[in-house]
Amino acid sequence: MNSSIGKLLPVDGFKLMKRGESPKGTERAMTHLYQPIIGRLAVALYQTLVSEFEINGSETAQTHHTLMSYLSAPLDQIYEARKYLEAIGLIQTYQTNDANAQREYFYILNPPFSPEEFFRDNMLSLLLYHEIGENKYKQLKSRLVRPELSLEGFDEVTASFDEVFHAITTNGPVSVSEPKAEGSQAGPAYLDNRVDFEWLSQSLKDKMYVSERILTGANKRIISQLASLYNLSSLELEKAVTWALDENHQLIIEELKTACHDFMKEKPTAKKDHQLDLRDKVQVESSDENKSKRDQLAERFEQISPRELLEDLSRGNHAADQDLKVVRDIMTEQGLSPGVMNVLIHYVMLRTDKKLSKPYVEKIASHWARKNVQTVHQAMSLATAEHQKYQQWGQQKTFQRKNTKEEVIPDWFYKQKKRNQTPTGDESVDTNELAEQLKQLTNRGNS
């Protein structure tokens, strides 16, 4: 179920304001640095809003129907793209607080980072690294960021502040209260209060470390970013920081990143059903009664993680580490959502006797990525429509089967095929096999 539907309405108005000037190379930064992280639609939305501001200014109010027309996208997808822009620091959103007035938004557009600033930001650079891989990351950095010149053989003779302004500052006011600039670009909107630095400092002191040397301003910012990126607890952060210290009690940032990433891989997958209260569960169960088994299965694909699906297909056993790596790599490289990846896993494993071959899965995944498959229903429909093609792809040595052996296909495939062939048939009739699949997938969430 898409929770973004209804968050925005086409008649809702919006105005724009732009802060600062975009740095040189903005187009390259948006295409090669931001787009792998936030997606094509989010980049297109940002560029459209910037263009609208340059044409119409900040006084002209428009409706979100305009954005739907420009982007040729439904409003729920535009809303999700806006959230990515907000989280990455490119947009700040304000909404009218008058409940009786027509709902209106104010979008403040912040300029993107220059390539140099982008790679200096630990969270953004880490996100990009995980999205495009090490080789492409190094290639981009070498081409977009100018290398620093060697200063060997030179002594710094820069004048200090006191040397130039000492006479002025001693005769001037003792203190000047400077208001914080509202237009400052802060990068991704992570939660900087999620880390209990007082507890972390005391914990380091208990282990005879000099916490003041470790928890500097720059290091605290990096720790906050990593905690937000990897959703780490204070105890996990304490272990990661301790692991990343050298013999001089200096924090090695690259080792800290590695440690936090390792903790993320070891964290168990949280079940969304556990986040629902009793009232929500009753509403979900009552709404399921009016849905076909295929729709319920599709909804379940959207609710669970690929790791949970692999365990369900293994009858509750732990998912193989190699299978998890295959899923992780393909989702990262092809940009598939967890729900779409679940459909692909379900289709391939049932078709190939529960063997998850990376080349075969990767070939179908790249096809889905080119087709811009974004929802579970789109994935299920495409698997049905392109089944003959996928069958031909599978006629390689790894996937050859005896002619006498019946091919195993997910039951939702036949269900969709039957609908296409007999549109007047009774769609409420479901096979026992599909009901059993749904039962297996829901047992874990209800246990």
Give the phi and the psi of residue 95 in degrees, each rounded to 5: -125, 145
CA distance 80 to 4: 7
Q: State the residue for tokens 């535009």.
A: 78
Strand order in the sheet with 91-95: 62-63, 13-18, 104-109, 91-95
pLDDT at 139 over 80: yes
CA distance 114 to 130: 20
Inter-CA distances, 156 with 31, 73, 159, 160, 162, Å: 38, 55, 9, 11, 16
Percent with pLDDT over 70 in the chain: 72
What's the Rg (C-alpha) of the chain? Answer: 27
CA distance 149 to 121: 21
Instruction: Copy the structure tokens of residue 161.
Output: 């502040």
pLDDT at 41 over 90: yes
Which is more confidently placed, 287 or 213?
A: 213
Smallest CA-to-CA distance from 438 within 282, 279, 292 is with 292
Q: Hey, which residues does 104 pair with through a beta bridge?
A: 13
CATH for the 13-114 domain, from 1.20.120, 1.10.10, 3.40.720, 3.30.1050 = 1.10.10
pLDDT in tens, 325-377: 787 677 767 777 778 888 888 888 877 777 788 888 888 888 888 888 888 88
CA distance 12 to 64: 6
Q: Which pLDDT value is given to residue 110?
A: 93
How do the domains of the chain map onto residue ranges?
Answer: 13-114, 190-266, 273-446
Look at residue 425 and give its three-state secondary structure. coil
Q: Considering the chain, what is the average pLDDT of its residues?
A: 76
Highest mean pLDDT among 84-93, 213-222, 291-300: 84-93
Which is more confidently placed, 275 or 157?
A: 157
Three-state secondary structure readout of 143-207: HHCCCCCCCCCCCCCCCCHHHHHHHHHHHCCCCCCCCCCCCCCCCCCCCCCCCCHHHHHHHHHHC
Q: pTM higher than 0.85, yes or no?
A: no
Which is more confidently placed, 229 or 358?
A: 358
CA distance 301 to 309: 8
What is the residue type of 112? Answer: P
pLDDT in tens, 380-416: 888 888 877 777 776 654 444 444 445 556 666 655 5
DSSP 131: H
pLDDT in tens, 142-187: 988 887 777 888 888 888 766 776 544 444 444 444 444 444 444 6
Q: State the residue for tokens 């059903």.
A: 273
User: ∠ CA 72-75-78 to the nearest 5 degrees?
Assistant: 80
CA distance 191 to 284: 31
Inter-CA distances, 238 with 67, 103, 216, Å: 45, 45, 15
Q: Which residues of 257-294 are buried (b: 16+ CB within 10 A; e: fewer)?
A: bebbbebeeeeeeeeebeeeeeeeeeeeeeebeeebbb
Q: Is 186 exposed, middle or buried (0-12, 13-18, 19+ CB in 10 A)?
A: exposed
Q: Report residue 182 CA to chain centroid gap.
A: 27
